[in-house]
Amino acid sequence: MTKRLLIIAIAFFAVLGNLIAQNVPAKKKEKYTYTMYTRVYQKRLMEKPDKVKDTALMKLANSYYFIADYENAAKVYEILYQRAEEKPGFDVPPEYNFRYGQSLRAIGEEDLAKEKLAEYLSESAANAVVQTTRVYEIQDLREYFSKLKDSINLNHFSDFAPAFYKEGLIFSSDRDTGNLHRYRHSGTNKDFLDLYQFEYDEDSVQVISKLNFIGNGINPREAETTSIKVDESTVTLSSDGNTMYFTASNFKDGELVKDQDNIVRLKIFKAVLEPEGWRIADDSWYKNQNGDKAFNSDGYSFANPALSPDDSRLYFTSDMPGSKGLSDIFMIAVDENGIRGKIDNLGDRVNTEFRESFPFVSKDGKLYYSSDRLGGEGRLDVYSVDLNANGMVASVSENLGKLVNSEYDDFSFIYDSEKQYGFFASNRPRPNDSGRKNAKDFSDDNIYAFTAECLNPKTLTGIVYDKSTLLPLAGTTINIISDDNEIIASTFTNEEGAYSVSIDRNKNNFVRATREGYTPAEEYLEINPCELRMVDFYIETDCVDYGTDLAKLLGLDPTIFFDFDKSEIKDDYKDELDIVVAAMELYPSLKIQVNSHTDSRGPNSYNQPLSGRRAKATVDYIASKGIDINRLKYKGYGETQLVNECADGVRCSAAKHQKNRRSEFLILCEEGENCCY
C-alpha cells in the first residue's frame, strides 16, 4: 500500500425513524397457559414434592413469576436451586437467576436479589455465542457518527496506529526523518516506519504542535555504528507514560534476527523513559522465570501490543501455535518486571480462521480490534467486545458499523471513553480523491479523529417472531419494566412484528414480550447510557394442535407401567394420572381421549382388546376421582402404532417393549382449531 495521513474530526449523532406500533388484537380463546400449570403443580408440590420432576419445577417457578406471584415464585426458585446443588448434572439456565432475583426484589429481599442478578449477568455473558458476522449498521449498536469537522491534510505519507500519550498521540509513519541517511524499502521506495509524536487540542481534536520524531534510544538506524533497516509501529504506553511497548522487526545487537525460513519476524519491544529520552530495555522483561517461554519466540511474529488501563495485562497479536487463523489476539499478565504466567488466547468470540489484529482496551473495559472475517463491510473492520474482571471476553463481538468501517482497511481504533473521543486509521478514499478506482487501489493510510456524544434516553427497537414458524408476530405487547417491577413504558408490535420504545439507559430496566397463547420472554437491560440495542424475541406458542398429548404438556412420562399382559393400574401410574386429574378438576371444559397401546408380543387379536381394557381402566380411574365420564373418551390400538422397531419376529429387550406399552391423553377441542394451554 501507499499511504497518506488525513485527520478528520467526526462526532456521533443519532437519527432513528420511530416505527408506528399498531395494536393488532389476538383472537380470544380459553386460556390455560401458566395458570393451569401453576395450579396443577402447586397441588403436586405440596402433596408430593419429591415426585415433581426438574422440568416441572422449573416451569412451575416461571408460572408464578409470569403471573406476578413473586412470593411463591421466590419459594419455588429457592427449591429449584437447592435441588440443583444436590443433584450433579442438573444445571439451571442463567435467566432463572434473573427471574429469581426479580422475585426477591419484589418481596423486599434486596441483598439476595442483587447476588442473583449479579450471577445472571456473569453467566449470561460467559455463555454468549460468538457473533462473527456484522450487526447491520452502527446505529443498531452504539453511538452515531456526526458531521465532519474541518480536515487537516498533514502530509502525503503513510501514518497509522495512533496511541494516546500525554496531551497528544504517538503514531507510526513512513515520512522522511530529515536525516542525512534515509533508508527505504526497495519494493515500495517508501521510508521505513518510525514513531512520531504530536499534541492536539482536546476540545477541537485539532493538531496544535509540530511533529516530534522519537528516535535514537529505540531506533537502531539512529546509532552511529549500524545501518540496520527496521520498522517500528503500534505503540502502547503505561498509564504514567514512562513505559512503552512497541512493534519492530526482530533485531538484536545491531543485527536482524531471522527464523529458520530466513524470515525476519516482528517482535514486541519495551522501552523506558529516562531524562535523556527513551531507552530500549533488554530482553529480560520477557525472558524470565515467571513468564511464558513462548512469548516473543523467534519462530513466530508478535505485534500490536495493547496495555489494559491498569497496566496489568498486555494484549497482542501473534501467529504462534494455538492460533485459530492467520493471526489471533492473545493476552498475558505483566508488571514492572515483565510478563507473568501463561499466554491466553481470547477465544472464539474474538478470534476466527481469518486475521485479527490491532487490539486496544478502553477505560470502560472494552476491547476494540480489527478483523477481516466474513460478513464485514470490507477488508479489515473494527469490532468491539466487553472484557470481564479477569481480562477475558465477556460478550459477543460487535461490528462498529458503516460509519467507522468501509469497504477498505479500517484499523488501529483507539477511544477515550471518559473524554469521548478517539482515532482510527483507514486507507479509504480521501475527500475529492479522484485517483481511487476500487477497493484494490489502495491509497496511503490516513488517521481519522472523532468525538462521541451520547443521547439519552435512547430508543429500543426489535422484532418479535414465532419461534417455530419464524414469522413476525403483530400485536405483541412490549413492556419496559423497572427494577421495582413497575411498567414504565408499553407498546405493541406493528404488522411486521417490529416495535420501537424509548428507554432511559441510565436506569436498569428489562423488556418483556407477552402475547396471548405464547410463553412470555424478557431480557435485562443493564445501565449503559451510550449503547443502543436491538432486542429481538423468538417466543414459543402455548397453543397446541387438536389431538396434542396433555401428558406431554404436563411433562408426564408417556410410558404406561402396566405389567405384561395386565390391565390393572399400577401405583406408579396412579401418581402420573393424579396430575391429569388435577388439570381436569381445575379446567372443567377440558376434554381428553385416552389412547392405549401394547407391545407386539402376543397375537394382535389378543393385544387389541388388551389395549382397550387398559384404556378403559385408565378412564375409569380418572372418573373415580370425580371427573365427569362425558369428558372422557378412550380407544385401544393394540400393536398397530409401535414407536420403535420391536414388531413381530424382532428380538428386543424388555425395556424396548415397555416403550410401546403406553397411553396418550389427547386434548379434544373443535377439530381444525388450536387449543391453548
Task: Quick: pLDDT tens for 343-364.
Answer: 999 999 999 888 899 999 999 8
The two beta strands, 521-525 and 446-451, are unpaired
Overall average pLDDT of the 164-185 stretch? 53
pLDDT in tens, 488-528: 899 999 998 999 988 876 677 889 999 987 888 888 887 66
More confident residue, 70 or 451: 70
Q: Which residues contact 557 (CB under 8 A, 6 or more apart)?
A: 551, 576
pLDDT > 90: percent of the chain:
23
Q: 116, 100 in Cβ contact below 8 A?
A: yes
Distance linking the first and last C-alpha atoms of the chain:
64
On the question of pLDDT at 125 being above 60, the answer is no
Phi, psi of 99 (to 5 degrees): -65, -35
Rounded Cα gap, residues 248 and 230, in angstroms: 7
pLDDT in tens, 240-251: 989 989 888 887
- Burial string for 21-58 (b: 16+ CB within 10 Å, else e) reads beeeeeeeeeebbbebbbbbbbebbeeeeeebeeebbb
pLDDT for 323 equals 93
| Phi-psi region at 375: left, alpha or beta (left = phi > 0; alpha = psi -120 to 50) | left
Rounded Cα gap, residues 93 and 354, in angstroms: 32
Among 31-40, 454-463, 542-551, the minimum mean pLDDT is found in 31-40
pLDDT for 464 equals 93
Place of cell 472475517: 373
The two beta strands, 421-426 and 446-451, are antiparallel
Rounded Cα gap, residues 224 and 215, in angstroms: 13
Q: 236, 271 in Cβ contact below 8 A?
A: no
pLDDT in tens, 37-87: 666 777 677 767 777 778 888 888 887 887 778 898 999 999 999 998 888
Rounded Cα gap, residues 433 and 418, in angstroms: 34
**Domains of the chain: residue spans and CATH:** 33-126 (1.25.40.10), 138-451 (2.115.10.20), 458-541 (2.60.40.1120), 545-676 (3.30.1330.60)
Rounded Cα gap, residues 456 and 529, in angstroms: 7
Note the pTM of the prediction, 2 decimals: 0.47
Q: What share of the chain is helix, strand, coil (3-state, %, to 5)?
A: 20, 30, 50
